[in-house]
């Protein structure tokens, strides 16, 4: 009997320690993402969390009321698969783009199975999930590019509001 009670208590403790998956709601709560990187002099934060099945949750938070985005697979726009979003007159827009040269255009496909975009108090948040089978990159070290603008559209140039880096995935 003591062994059964001890096992039940141990199982309950382990369930309590399990990390919940992020909620794709256009908000980044404290502790929601286990990984975060501040970029562009603290004006943008890239958050990410593996989903346990090989997919990825991502949130980009940028100071500004226009578009924000992240591209994976390259530290330049050229060759990056880019996720962008903005809110214009209360309407949220989420787009998947393919980087080509110093530009990007609609990718013609959808990899994210969940997305949410919000703009509140001068911060735009673009949040999404991509399942493992749809990830637009391979490998455990993933180069990225991030950028934002104060214009609510998909075409306004970001100026100096961009940064690059690399994610390390499990």
Q: Could you please report the per-residue DSSP string of 7-61?
A: HHHHHHHHHHHSPPPPP-SS---TTS-SEEEEETTTTEEEEEEE-SSS-EEEEEE
**The pLDDT of residue 2:** 44
Q: Tokens 């990830």: give the residue.
A: 135
pLDDT score recorded for residue 4: 41
**How does pLDDT run across 72-85, given as a tens digit for each residue?**
999 988 889 999 99
Low-confidence ranges of the chain (pLDDT < 50): 1-18
Q: pTM value?
A: 0.86
* From the candidate CATH numbers 3.40.50.1370, 3.40.50.720, 3.30.70.1400, 2.60.40.1210, the one assigned to the domain spanning 2-168: 2.60.40.1210
Give residue 90's pLDDT: 93
pLDDT at 87: 97
Res 71: pLDDT = 96
């Amino acid at each position: 009997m003591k062994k059964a009670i001890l096992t039940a208590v141990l199982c309950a403790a382990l369930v309590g320690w399990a990390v919940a998956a992020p909620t794709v709601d256009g908000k980044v709560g404290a502790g929601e993402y286990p990984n975060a990187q501040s970029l562009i002099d603290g004006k943008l934060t890239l958050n990410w969390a593996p989903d346990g099945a090989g997919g990825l949750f991502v949130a980009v938070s940028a100071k500004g009321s226009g578009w924000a985005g992240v591209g994976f697979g390259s530290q330049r726009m050229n060759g990056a698969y880019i996720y962008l979003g903005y809110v214009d007159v209360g309407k949220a827009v989420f787009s998947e783009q393919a980087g080509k040269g110093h530009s990007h255009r609609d990718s013609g496909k959808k990899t994210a199975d969940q997305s949410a975009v919000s703009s509140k108090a001068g911060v735009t948040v673009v949040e999404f999930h991509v399942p493992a089978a749809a990830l637009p990159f391979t490998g455990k070290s993933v180069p990225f590019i991030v950028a934002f603008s104060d214009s609510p559209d998909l075409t306004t140039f970001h100026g100096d509001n961009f940064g690059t880096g690399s994610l390390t995935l499990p």
